[in-house]
Amino acid sequence: MADLQQKRIVLGVTGGIAAYKAAELLRLLIKDGADVQVVMTQAACGFITPATMQALSGKPVYTDMWDARAPDNMAHISLTRAADMIVVAPASADFLAKLAQGFADDLLSTLCLARSRGGCRLAVAPAMNREMWGNPATQRNVAQLARDGISILGPASGAQACGEVGAGRMLEASEIHAELCALVEPRLFDGTRILITAGPTFEPIDAVRGITNRSSGKMGYAIARAALAAGAEVTLISGPTALDPPAAACIERVETAAEMYSAVQKHVERADIFISVAAVADYRVDAPRKNKIKKSEDTLTLKLLPNPDILSWVAARPRPPFCVGFAAETDNLVQYAEEKRRRKKIPLLVANLAHEALGADDNELTLLDDDGIHVLPRAAKTALARSLIAYIAARYRATQKS
C-alpha cells in the first residue's frame, strides 16, 4: 500500500502561532521516508526559525524569491518540477486569499502558482482566529480553492492561542500526516463500511480499582486511519486510551467489555468488515463494589465471570461481515492463533507476541487464513496498518467474487 516513502514534498510555512506544529509535521514526514524541502514566508520566520527547520530536514530552507542558490535564480520553478506534493501548514487567511486570487508576491505563493498541476498536488492546512475563519471572504476563498482541486485539511475546533474557542485551529501534526497519507493511498475501500474495536477494556472492582491490560490502542487507531485513507467509512469503538482518534471516523467510547459488546451489537448490522483489534478482558468481577474496598490483612477474594466473546458472536451471525480477529500470545504464536481462528470460524486472524506489541510503536504481524501464513516484518504500526488494510482488501474482494 502506498505511503509517503520517497515522496518529494515541499512544506510551506506561513505566519501564525501554529507554525510550531510545522516542525513536528516535518519530523513525521522525514520519519516516513519523505524527501522534504521547506519554504517559509517572511512572516513565518517571526514564529519559528529557518535554522530549526533546516536542522530537522537536513536541507537549506528557502525564504527569498531571489535566493541565488536556486538554478537560474528561479526557485519557484526548480522547487516544484520534481515535487509530488506541496503542503502549506499553517496556511494563514492572507495566504489562502493569495491562492484563491492567483497572487504571487513571494516565493511560496509563486511556487504554488507555478506548480505542475498534472503532477504536483497542493494541500493547505488553515490556521487562524475563529472570526477570521468564519468571515465570508475566507469562506469564499476556501470554497474557490476546493473548486480548484486544492485539498483543504481542517481546520479543527477548540481553544485558540488568542484565548477564544472555535473553528480555526490547525490540525495536529499527526492528523495532517494522516491526511497526506490518504491523498496518496489507493482507494481500496470506497463505499465499504468497516467496524473496528480498539484499546483495552476496564472491568471495575470497586470505585477506584479495576482489571485491565497494557493495550495502548495504537494498532487499532492506526488501522482505523489506514482504512479511512483507503476510502472506507469507519466506525471506531474504543476502550480507554490516551490517543487522539482519527477525525473522520465515527467514534464511540466505552469502558467495559459489556459496553463494547453493546456498541458492536448496535453498529454491526451496517458493517461490511469487522476488525476486532481491542484487547477485551476475558473476565469481569461478579459484583463490583460502589465504594472503595478498604485494605486489611485478610485475603481479598474476587469472583470472576466470563465476558461475552464479541468476535465469536459477530462471526456466528446469519450474515456476518468479513471478520478479522487479533491474537496476542506469549508463546506458541502460530499454533495458538490458528486454533483461535478455527474455533471462532473467521477468515483472517492477525497474531503478534504480546510482550513485543503492547504499548510499542512498532510490531511484527503474522497473518493466518485458509491460504496459510503470511508475515508482515517488524515496522512502525502505522506502516503495518497500511499493509494489513491492503491485505484485508484483497481477501475481502475475493469473498465478494465467490
Mean pLDDT of 318-329: 96
61 within 8 A of 40, measured Cβ to Cβ = yes
265 residue type, one letter: Q
Which residues form the catalytic set? 162
Give the fold, CATH level 3, of 8-184: Rossmann fold (3.40.50)
Tell which residue, 191, 98, 187, has the closest CA to residue 148. Answer: 98
Q: How far is CA 281 from CA 251, 261, 284, 345, in A?
A: 20, 11, 7, 20
132 within 8 A of 138, measured Cβ to Cβ = yes
Nearest-angstrom CA–CA distance, 326 and 276? 6
pLDDT band at 74 (very low <50, low <70, confident <90, very high): low
- The pLDDT tens digits of the residues spanning 84-113 come to 999 999 999 999 999 999 999 999 999 999
Q: 148-162, 223-237, 359-373: which range is least confident on average?
A: 148-162
Q: How far is CA 230 from CA 111, 186, 396, in A?
A: 30, 6, 14
pLDDT at 161: 82
pLDDT at 117: 74
Q: What is the mean pLDDT of the chain?
A: 91
Q: How far is CA 391 from CA 252, 280, 375, in A?
A: 26, 24, 11
Residue intervals in the chain for CATH 3.40.50.1950: 8-184
pLDDT at 402: 65
pLDDT band at 250 (very low <50, low <70, confident <90, very high): very high
pLDDT at position 1 over 50: no
pLDDT at 71: 64
22 within 8 A of 90, measured Cβ to Cβ = yes
Residue intervals in the chain for CATH 3.40.50.10300: 193-401
Check: pTM over 0.75? Answer yes or no. Answer: no
Q: Which CATH class is domain 193-401?
A: alpha beta
pLDDT at 32: 85
pLDDT at position 309 over 80: yes
pLDDT at position 248 over 90: no
